């Protein structure tokens, strides 16, 4: 059975990943990933997928986020064993610029080894009001 946000008490790997990705050195987010990470990131500009830290590093360094004060905010989440399901929004300068739905898998040692995320900029006003029942 899935857990609600209130029942998830420890910081998950995706929380650490987003904190580092949003920080002054986004490439440090790789430290939270397993060497065999596989990912698919679907954005309005492109769909990016890859395998391994080198592919993810290429994506991270190719993002044009310098000076944008871009941050990820998880608004709702549910967990089922090693899978975590997230609804959130990306903000620039504190202002919502879009919403994301993500699924991540965490290894036993607390690393991300799967990451699938769909990001859409035309959903900025709905993410915080969506009701999700665990």
Give residue-wise pLDDT tens across range 79-119.
Answer: 999 999 999 999 999 899 999 999 999 999 999 999 999 99
For residues 90 and 98, the answer to whether their CB atoms sit within 8 Å is yes
Specify the 3-state DSSP secondary structure of 25.
coil
Q: pLDDT per residue over 4-30, tens digit each?
A: 443 444 689 999 999 999 999 999 999
Phi, psi for residue 101 in degrees, rounded to 5: -120, 130
Instruction: Please list the residues that pair with 115 across neighbouring strands.
Output: 39, 104
Higher pLDDT, residue 122 or 88: 88
């Amino acid at each position: 059975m899935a857990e609600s946000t209130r029942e998830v008490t420890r910081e998950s790997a995706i929380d650490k990943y987003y904190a580092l990705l949003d920080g002054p050195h986004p490439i440090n987010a790789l430290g939270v990933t397993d060497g065999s990470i596989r990912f698919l990131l679907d954005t309005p500009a492109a769909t990016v997928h890859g395998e391994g830290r080198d592919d993810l590093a290429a994506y991270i360094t190719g993002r044009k986020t310098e000076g944008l004060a871009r941050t990820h905010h998880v608004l709702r989440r549910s967990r089922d064993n090693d899978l975590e399901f997230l609804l959130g929004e990306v903000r620039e300068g504190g202002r919502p610029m879009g919403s994301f739905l993500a699924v991540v898998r965490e290894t036993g040692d607390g690393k991300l080894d799967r990451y699938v995320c769909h990001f859409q900029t035309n959903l900025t006003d709905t993410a915080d009001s969506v009701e999700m029942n665990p």
